[in-house]
A and B are shown apart, each in its own frame.
Chain A
């Protein structure tokens, strides 16, 4: 049976841990709000991009940009966005599982990985998948320039025939409790459809529609990758917040149980001491009479 002092020490240690998890929970909550705001801020650009791309690609049907056709050679590539750190519940596991399953069903188990985030790189290492590039240690406020190399590597591999396709996987932020793994094809590209009949016929293109498309398509790929990273970061903070809240609650339960045990042990020792005193007094009384 543990002594009272041992139990008290454990309570203190659980309480210290709880302070840390509670702090992490609050930090994650603050970061999540900022990450969500950044997802929102990127939306007008992405929407504008999609609209322009839809009108231009509807216009230049006869021109086949290399991004629009699948090369015959090369391996399928997975651009896997994960977090750098753990303590965020099953987030990475879910994304990786969904991505791996998708790749296996579509292309077999032989594929290459471009990892954004340490967890994805570790996964590729464990499964013996070749890693074309890995970007880790992104800041909480990633600039576009920090993410761009991942997109550049994916497009480069696709153009020089090393990649037959590129698939993008990340955790889409739905709400605090739901982060949904997303696995979407990135290359070859499927240009977005125009949402309504635009005045595409009457557009003036400078220098010409084809050159505009040449500039638009890579930019669109970069935008998608950047947005995936932002979504994933919002998801990471939400998952971390929930995980840390659970940890804080568990610590509470643990403290309550330990306090109960401590009280029982304390009560037992008081009872025992009383018994001893009473027993001793009885013995003395018996000896005197």
Chain B
């Protein structure tokens, strides 16, 4: 049993197809969506998004957004995002280190601190999505 799922960003559509299981990083923690899930609207945090169809797991990185579950479809409105295989790991790694260093310096205003914390979260989550994808490819 599947539910039609669609992942869209402002610049286009990242995924469109039937899924039998979806895992996203919601405001209140990870959430898994199976077909016939109750109607739901939630905000998403930056993180990996997993879409499974016919035992094949596909990973995307989602830079925050919204998830809407309706009886007949699931829609992810992502602020930004990319397929896990398109993630530039070296660049994400570098972004993570840069954010960590800035945070370690400690002479930041509250705004700057929040900004760097967000940058760190993004980079970490991007790497996590890439890692999940890599593991999926192997096993």
Chain A residues with Cβ under 8 A from B41's Cβ? 52, 55-56, 203-206, 209, 212
Does the CB pair B43–A38 fall under 8 Å?
Answer: no
Chain B residues with Cβ under 8 A from A51's Cβ? 68
- B6 is an interface residue with CB less than 8 A from chain A: yes
Bound complex: CA of A144 vs CA of B9, how far in Å? 10
- B90 is an interface residue with CB less than 8 A from chain A: no
Chain B residues with Cβ under 8 A from A206's Cβ? 26-28, 31, 40-43
With A143-B11, A144-B11: A204-B66 Cβ-Cβ less than 8 Å: no
- B8 is an interface residue with CB less than 8 A from chain A: yes
Can you list, as one digit per residue, whether each of A76-94 has a CB less than 8 Å from chain B (1) or not (0)?
0000000000000000000
Does the CB pair A48–B43 fall under 8 Å?
Answer: no
Q: Which stretch of A39-47, A121-129, A171-179 is in the interface?
A: A39-47
Residue on A nearest B67 in the bound complex, by CB: A206
- B75 is an interface residue with CB less than 8 A from chain A: yes
- B39 is an interface residue with CB less than 8 A from chain A: yes
- A223 is an interface residue with CB less than 8 A from chain B: yes
User: A203 contacts which of B13, B26, B39 (Cβ < 8 Å)?
Assistant: B39
Smallest CB separation, B35 vs chain A (Å): 16
A-B pairs with CB below 8 Å: how many? 75
Query: On chain B, which size bracket covers the interface?
Result: 20 to 34
Grouping DSSP codes into helix (H, G, I), strand (E, B) and loop, the B interface class, with mixed when no group exceeds half, is: strand
Can you list, as one digit per residue, whether each of A179-215 has a CB less than 8 Å from chain B (1) or not (0)?
0000000000000000000010011111101011001
Can you list, as one digit per residue, whether each of A15-56 has a CB less than 8 Å from chain B (1) or not (0)?
000000000000000000000001001101110110110011
Can you pick out 7 interface pairs between chain A and chain B where the beta carbons lie within 8 Å of each other?
Answer: A41-B12, A44-B8, A45-B8, A48-B75, A52-B66, A144-B80, A223-B10
Residues in B lying within 8 Å of A, measured CB to CB? 6, 8-13, 26-28, 31, 38-43, 66, 68, 70-71, 75, 77, 79-80
Minimum-distance CB pairs A-B, first 6? A206-B42, A41-B12, A204-B40, A45-B8, A44-B8, A203-B39
Residues in A lying within 8 Å of B, measured CB to CB? 38, 41-42, 44-46, 48-49, 51-52, 55-56, 143-144, 199, 202-207, 209, 211-212, 215-216, 219, 223, 226
